[in-house]
Structure 1
Amino acid sequence: MSRPTRGRLARYGFAEGDGGVRAADLLGADGLGLWQADEQEPTDRSAADLLAALSRAADPDLALRQLHRMVETERRTADDATGSELLAALAADPGLRRRLVAVLGASAALGDHLVANPGQWTVLGTAPDGLAPTADGRLDLALAGRLTAATAPVAVLRQAYRLALLRIAAADLTGGRGLEQVMSALSALADATLAAAYEIAVGELPAGTPRPRLAVVAMGKCGGDELNYVSDVDVIFVAATDEDLPAATTVAARLIHVCGLVAWPVDAALRPEGNRGPLVRTLASHLAYYQRWARTWEFQALLKARPAAGDLALAREWIDALAPLVWRASERPEAVSDVRAMRRRIIDNIPPKELDREIKRGPGGLRDIEFAVQLLQLVHGRGDESLRVPGTVPALRALVTGGYVGRADGEALLRGYRFLRGVEHRLQLQALRRTHTVPTEPAALRWLAAALGYAAIPGRSAVESFRADWVAHATEVRRLHAKLLYRPLLESVARVPADGLRLTPEAARHRLEVLGFADPAGALRHLQALTGGVSRTAAIQRTLLPVLLSEFADAPEPDRGLLNYRQVSDKLGSTPWYLRLLRDSGPVARRLARVLSSSRYAADLLAREPEALRLLAEENELTPRPREVLCDGFAAAAARHADPVEATRAVRALRRRELVRIACADVLSRADGLAPRPERGAPAGPLADVTRVGTGLSYVTDATLSAALRAVRAAQPELPGLRFAVIGLGRLGGYESNYLSDADVLFVYDPPAGTAESAASAAAHAIAEELRRLLGAPAPDPALGVDADLRPEGRQGPL
């Protein structure tokens, strides 16, 4: 074959070199008759359309080889070396052409199935009314019987399963179904297969054997309506009574065998005692086990339980009986740590060489999303029934709607989940083999990128684009997993009794009385003001308040704490960061509750500057600053303003923030033993030590006086060379200031040589008076009284 022919075919996506020669052979007159070698172009318009469809396949060469095999098989069967019903149908039906070629280029296994079963491609044809074939996971046993020579029930079921799978894959690959629809269809197909296998197994029972009441409960991905193409289907078998057990066990064992022959392994290892326990238990036996022996991960697994086949009413009865146990599981002291430990064990068991390629179990993989969502469900679902949904995507959406997960975080997790599941689907569809590992071979990576819809762009190959997206999604998923799964608020919420999470008026009033609020009615009014309505702010408050009420109750003035919290929330509730900070950022909510209910002074400071509560997010922010750092920072703030009034306002605002820092750290160190390591030059010793607090407050006063003095002197028409000092006395001088201390000082000046004493005294007096006025003037920030009464002769002496 000439080089130009190979080059022309390469533009359709067929391989160069030997692969290009092979493509030309398959397309030429001795093959499909779609390519004119002499003219170097398709034989006609329909051939051009088919070549264009092949070029869009994930692997054009694979699609062409499989199509050629199908046509050759058809011709042998029909004893016709030239005509082809398949090629004619592809020319006449664009929908069939698009669907069949997409399947042939993305799945070698489904292509092999179509080669081995001539005529089954017709299930992908467009209906006379112009509609695409259904892809909802329903089994059509009658159609399968017509399209296969097999007559045995299991063989017909296998063919029906493959036909349904073929339709789902075609819709998936051509955009006819989104990811969630594909997962739902695959789960529905699993249900239908389980139901058909159940009927086969029951039909094989010995004559005269009563039909047992046996429920097949879907678990795992199937239970969550998020099944992938190749996966074990997790189930639990439930019998109604002891009398049903013998026949029910026979049916369950046969069902497992039939499904293994038809589609996939059925895994019943999630049952009580795992593979060591009986395959089938009665409802009463299950209930006894879960009440006494079940571990946290077993309740976590029950989040996705769903009736699938058999006695559906019995399955629903089983789920309803266990539900109260599921929603109390997170109240166990070890529950949250159990879920976290389970996730770590999964990662530890991944072979090191596969760790970075695992899209399911590895860091930043699907398990990270699932574990974070399930833990949040277990903890918050006790009081919020909207979270009691089995699927990961619906549960994540419910968590976002309820305010338990931020909108941006929820969207990022949803994008990551869709991306990773999409990769998993394409990997498994290729050979219908269970895998979750991204390949390393260049050819396999190119195929995967093409199957996912990536194309080369200037400066970047399709594989590079895929890798960039993969790294970005995995990094974001890993970050959000750590943020959500290790959120400190979870342990606090888990410790609140379930009744305390439901803030109905009756439950709230009762809980307030139990917690020791002196005015439950007044406290209830605050709660209703904070949580009323259907806004997102109210939803997040309903999440936070059960935890905060417990913290308020442990403080000296619970009612005062709740009132202060309402005042801060009224000021900041509409800002986008406030409630997000309390919900997501470490121990901020708990610390805020302690501060607001333990210190009226600190609460008043926070009410004046609510944004200062950001300081509660990090322990290093709760460390008093060294004197030099304070002086430099205050001086820089003052230097940005030429007007001494504005400069002093900036200094007083910084002073207020430092007072908030010290007051909050003081309260928390006494309440929680918080004692962060002091910075170099900061007051040494435990913060709860009154000496350290006094020193820190004195440093703040020193920095305030120093910066304000510079601002005043810069604006005063004073004498050149006038030396002026402020000397600390009393508590300030001894580094023993308290929160409300005035600054006891002496003002000292030294006139420049040759200057009249009266002029120097007047200039110095003006500086001192202006300094006192500016620092003591009414303003939103706390005033600093500058007291010079300890000077010689007291108030009667010169200032």
Structure 2
Amino acid sequence: MAAITSRTTSVPEATSRFLHELDELLGVPLATDSRFVDLLMATPDPHGAALGLLRVIEAAGEGSAALLDAVRTGSKSELAEDELNRPLLARLLAVVGTSEAMVDHLVRHPDSLPLLLVPDPFLLISTPAASAVSLRAEMLTVLGADPEDPAPRATVTGDDGVKALRRNYRDAVLRLVADDLSAESPDEIVDHVMAVLSDLAAAALDAALAIARAELDEAADIRLAVIALGKTGARELNYVSDVDVVFVLDSAESEEDRHLATDLAQRMRGILSDAGGEPALWEVDTALRPEGKAGALVRTLSEFEHYYADIAENWEFQALLKARPVAGDVAVGEAFSQSLLPLVWQAASRPGFIDGIRAMRRRVVDLIPAVEAPRQIKLGRGGLRDVEFSAQMLQLVHGRNDEDIRTSNTLVALGELGEHGYIGQQDASVFSAAYRFMRVVEHRVQIPRMMRNALIPDDEDKLRMLARSVFRSGSRTGDRLEEARRDYAKQVTRLHEQIFYRPILEAAVGIHGAVVDAQKRGSSLQAAADRLQAFGYVDPQGALSHIKALTTGMSRTAMVIKQVLPALLDWFSDGVEPDRALLAFRRLSESLSSSGWFLKMLRDSGLAAKSVAEVLSLSGYATELLLRQPAAVAWLDRYENLEARDLAILNAEVDGLLKRHGADAVTPIRETYSRELLRIALRDVLDVGDRAEIPSDLSDLMDLAVRGALQAVRTDLDGPETPDYEFGIIAMGRWGGREIGYFSDADAMFVYRPVSDNLDAEARGRLSKHVTKVALQLSSRLKASEGAQGVDLDADLRPEGKNGPLVRSFSSYQAYYAKWSQPWEAQALLRARPVAGDDELIADYLALIDPLRYPTEMPQKALTQVRTLKARMEDERLPRNADKRRHLKLGRGSLSDVEWTVQLLQLQHGHRLEGLRTTSTLPALEVAADDDLLPTEDAEQLAAAWQLATDVRSAVMLFRGRTAESLPADHTELEATARLLGYPAGAGHDLEDDYLRTTRHARSVMEHRFYDF
């Protein structure tokens, strides 16, 4: 059989077979008419259109004559040029060529075919009320119910009623699909389409209730209202979507009333959602009711009032924004609206309201499978949800004081927000255009199978058909669709990031030099302050002053900052202390205002700008370091700049400083230390690399600084008259264990030894004073200054503590350890690690202390002393009123518990197990588990507690810039700590639970392995 060729179009052979079959069925040459073929080939899927039309005609049988009558104006069998009703034929072909689901409906119900052959009035209805009333009346009439009755009851019930309702609903959808697909500019009518779908759903709910009333006769007098939420409530429903509702009972005089109302609601749901001879319409979703699925299906109005007044969470008020009575008792529905909807506009003042809503939005985005994210129309970045979210947040913040913007519908809200100046009218237009386009695309994705879907197809053929259904003219390719979608998503993302703050800039500085009426400007400033406060700024007036200072004037700096500040303000509020972040940004910008590279980076590098915001809003410690070294902001343009620098390179840098500066090298060495400390802190805050490596990186950096500074001090102080001597610095405590945090002092001991054994007493005395001066000068010069961070050397762990000499000779250490050494000192020496000085002295010192810290046998007396000392320390050193569960160092299951358990094993077994001869806790734990000194599970629990306590100490230090003794109890500090440890926003209490659980397990292990084993 030859393929058909029209004047303009060639039909594939497979499609032409369907057309010839149409010829035979219809008995007229419609199928081979070039005008018909051109219309067919213009459909999104010509092959599917031909097959769909064939299926429908076959099912219609003799009823197909109506098709011919409709598409021709004369009575001749031949179709003359002026006798073909092209618009009507195009309407029919558009439906069968796009929606297999509608073809299935017509095959099941061929007598519905004439509905397609008459132009439908749905989209010509001008008012929402008219649409709702018309659809409800039609739906109830089909069921034999009186639309004028306040509580209509169906006369067609049971399976017949369910089938009649569902068919009538789909007949209406059929007419709507035809109107929609035939529209020249579908984006211009998409709001009407959504409204009709919403009103149709509302009519179906009321019709289902009419059937349920008739079937449950004893429930006929129950006054039950159905409140729609979500898209149905906002009159922006899709073709296929769950319909979110809650059920409100006027009152319950008895439990029987409540049971009857519940039965009524459940039957109504089943009529619409259960499987049956006619397919279900959609899921009636009641999960948004108070307490969700665990809550009662039906509640009285007073119960709703109590719940929203005392119990409801913040997100539930956002959901309530779209609430609308749609079915059931009108008076009860109106009472619900009057009582509860005003609460929506008070909700933004609730503590943490905006942060909680935003955190929920982030969680939704995070849950999108990575493979789907680029194709998501609804939930992805720049998608429908971002438009809706932007509009809702602005409404919730400003709707408290402005009733004109209180609307549930997104497009209406955008218009009002633009009209009243809460966003620019151009921005509102961009949002609206993007929303309309994406809704059309979403509808076109759903129409083919009438399935819930919001994904752009990844199949090339399906993408092409989707594009042809979206665009009626011009290029109708998948490339055009994807380009348009990407462009809208980009615009929405940009506006979504800026929209909350752009009006704030205008209010603060009077953009474009506009002369603003005093009263209007005051109102504008107050609206800006309200918005800042809603998004977490504690001092909105102070924030406005910073914004004004940053953006006033026509300088290049002010112009660039005007461009980037809206996004920065948003990112600051994503942190924990946006006020502090904004102030820090002002200080940073002022110090770099003359640096062109800084302005260019802010403008052009989204990564750098966002990273700056994250650092300033989460870490007071890193912020202060950054303000001391503002040029380091340049690192944030590429995360590779934050990677740990090779130690050999840093050592070479320090050697170069020593060669150039000699005795004066301590200051540039300290600046190098401060610079690299900032690099590590930035890496930590931004979660770049492995956080577990940071303690060793910090320790190596401290080693480097102390080693170089010692050489510089000795260059300065050692003179010709100074007797030759060897000098060594022994790191102790966490520094010795290469486990320091930002909070750590540098615990150290100093040792020296004359090169000559023949020094007289006077020379020995002079040398003793000299090395003490070296140690004091070293400590003094390494301390922090205004320009750079420093190292605090602490020698309190030396023999005899503060009462002993600051620097001891090697022979003095020999004598002391031989006569006076206590078990606790041997335990302290487990972390002794030489970090600077002369190699021979260091080797001899290690040979001296190794027998002490790794004894061949640990006497029972020494074991008892260690255990007794640990118990005393818990009782005496824990601060008064400190919570033993939360103290990070001395608390139950915290650092001390783990470290003392490990150190006891080292004292007992270090002599025979070389792997235990390490100054670091975690490697020693690993060896203990490998050699069966501890069960692996016990070792893992101890390691987890030690690591978490260490991380928490560092995170708190990063946030507030000072050391932490305990797991934070303050909500803000706990939240910041959690964020810095990689927890999502709002998960502070998750960190708290994790810490308490982890340390509880570790304490149990410690009590068994340290005290009882």
**One-letter amino acid matched to 2:232:** C
The alpha-carbon distance between structure 1 residues 155 and 586, as it changes in their structure 2 partners (threshold 3 A), is: same
The question of 1:366 aligning with 2:376 is answered no
CA contact (8 A) 1:359 1:424 kept: yes
> Which residue pairs with 1:234 in the alignment?
244
Shift of 1:488: 11
**One-letter amino acid matched to 1:543:** A
Q: Which residue of 482, 494, 501 maps to 1:467?
A: 482
**One-letter amino acid matched to 1:621:** S
Shift of 1:406: 2.0
Shift of 1:253: 0.5
> Which residue pairs with 2:51 in the alignment?
65
**One-letter amino acid matched to 2:466:** L
State the alpha-carbon separation in 1 of the partners of residues 532 and 268 from structure 2: 51
Where do 1:340-379 residues align within 5 Å? 340-379=358-397
Which deviates more from structure 2 when the two are superposed, residues 84-93 or residues 465-474? 84-93
Where do 1:663-742 residues align within 5 Å? 676=627, 678-679=629-630
State the alpha-carbon separation in 1 of the partners of residues 141 and 10 from structure 2: 36
The question of 1:19 aligning with 2:3 is answered no
Q: Which residue of 111, 114, 117 maps to 2:106?
A: 114
**One-letter amino acid matched to 2:439:** R
> Which residue pairs with 1:621 in the alignment?
589
State the alpha-carbon separation in 2 of the partners of residues 288 and 158 from structure 1: 37
Sequence identity (%): 34
CA contact (8 A) 1:144 1:163 kept: no
State the alpha-carbon separation in 2 of the partners of residues 123 and 289 from structure 1: 47
The alpha-carbon distance between structure 1 residues 681 and 97, as it changes in their structure 2 partners (threshold 3 A), is: closer
Where do 1:489-500 residues align within 5 Å? none
CA contact (8 A) 1:100 1:124 kept: yes
Per-residue Cα deviation, 1:367-422 (whole angstroms, up to 9, x for no partner): 11112221221111111112210011111222212222222322222121111111
State the alpha-carbon separation in 1 of the partners of residues 531 and 69 from structure 2: 69
CA contact (8 A) 1:454 1:465 kept: no
> Which residue pairs with 2:206 in the alignment?
195
> Which residue pairs with 2:232 in the alignment?
222
Shift of 1:229: 0.1
Where do 1:56-205 residues align within 5 Å? 56-75=42-61, 77=62, 84-92=65-73, 93-126=85-118, 136=131, 138=135, 140-141=138-139, 152-175=160-183, 178-205=189-216
**One-letter amino acid matched to 1:181:** H
Shift of 1:482: 2.5
Please list every run of 5 or more consecutive structure 2 residues that lacks an aligned counterpart in the other structure: 74-84, 126-130, 145-155, 275-279, 509-514, 574-581, 600-619, 634-667, 671-1013
The alpha-carbon distance between structure 1 residues 132 and 554, as it changes in their structure 2 partners (threshold 3 A), is: closer
> Which residue pairs with 2:451 in the alignment?
433
State the alpha-carbon separation in 2 of the partners of residues 381 and 323 from structure 1: 12
Per-residue Cα deviation, 1:724-777 (whole angstroms, up to 9, x for no partner): xxxxxxxxxxxxxxxxxxxxxxxxxxxxxxxxxxxxxxxxxxxxxxxxxxxxxx
> Which residue pairs with 1:724 in the alignment?
none
State the alpha-carbon separation in 1 of the partners of residues 436 and 632 from structure 2: 51
The alpha-carbon distance between structure 1 residues 538 and 65, as it changes in their structure 2 partners (threshold 3 A), is: farther
The alpha-carbon distance between structure 1 residues 390 and 583, as it changes in their structure 2 partners (threshold 3 A), is: farther
Q: Which residue of 195, 213, 216 maps to 2:223?
A: 213
Q: Secondary structure at the match of 1:84?
A: helix
> Which residue pairs with 2:491 in the alignment?
476
State the alpha-carbon separation in 1 of the partners of residues 235 and 206 from structure 2: 16
What TM-score do you get using the length of structure 1 for normalisation? 0.60
**One-letter amino acid matched to 1:124:** L
**One-letter amino acid matched to 1:451:** S
The alpha-carbon distance between structure 1 residues 52 and 194, as it changes in their structure 2 partners (threshold 3 A), is: same
Q: Secondary structure at the match of 1:217?
A: strand
The alpha-carbon distance between structure 1 residues 617 and 409, as it changes in their structure 2 partners (threshold 3 A), is: farther
Where do 1:250-399 residues align within 5 Å? 250-261=263-274, 262-399=280-417
> Which residue pairs with 2:528 in the alignment?
544
CA contact (8 A) 1:530 1:541 kept: no
Shift of 1:546: 5.5
> Which residue pairs with 1:790 in the alignment?
none
**One-letter amino acid matched to 2:37:** L
Shift of 1:316: 2.1
State the alpha-carbon separation in 1 of the partners of residues 458 and 632 from structure 2: 54
CA contact (8 A) 2:30 2:36 kept: no
Per-residue Cα deviation, 1:423-476 (whole angstroms, up to 9, x for no partner): 11011111111111111112111110100016675xxx7111111111111122
CA contact (8 A) 2:252 2:258 kept: yes
State the alpha-carbon separation in 1 of the partners of residues 632 and 408 from structure 2: 55
**One-letter amino acid matched to 1:253:** Q
State the alpha-carbon separation in 2 of the partners of residues 488 and 553 from structure 1: 19
Q: Secondary structure at the match of 2:114?
A: helix
State the alpha-carbon separation in 2 of the partners of residues 13 and 167 from structure 1: 30
Q: Which residue of 49, 52, 59 maps to 2:38?
A: 52
> Which residue pairs with 1:688 in the alignment?
none
CA contact (8 A) 2:497 2:567 kept: no
Shift of 1:544: 2.5
State the alpha-carbon separation in 1 of the partners of residues 585 and 519 from structure 2: 24
CA contact (8 A) 2:347 2:396 kept: yes
Shift of 1:153: 1.8
CA contact (8 A) 2:19 2:50 kept: no
Shift of 1:312: 2.1
Shift of 1:246: 2.1
Where do 1:758-769 residues align within 5 Å? none
Shift of 1:160: 1.1
The alpha-carbon distance between structure 1 residues 488 and 278, as it changes in their structure 2 partners (threshold 3 A), is: farther
Shift of 1:481: 2.0
Per-residue Cα deviation, 1:130-165 (whole angstroms, up to 9, x for no partner): 97896746153488689x999922211112111111
Where do 1:392-471 residues align within 5 Å? 392-453=410-471, 457=475, 462-471=477-486
The alpha-carbon distance between structure 1 residues 307 and 194, as it changes in their structure 2 partners (threshold 3 A), is: same
Which deviates more from structure 2 when the two are superposed, residues 327-336 or residues 435-444? 327-336
The alpha-carbon distance between structure 1 residues 541 and 150, as it changes in their structure 2 partners (threshold 3 A), is: same
Q: Secondary structure at the match of 2:447?
A: helix
CA contact (8 A) 1:95 1:126 kept: no
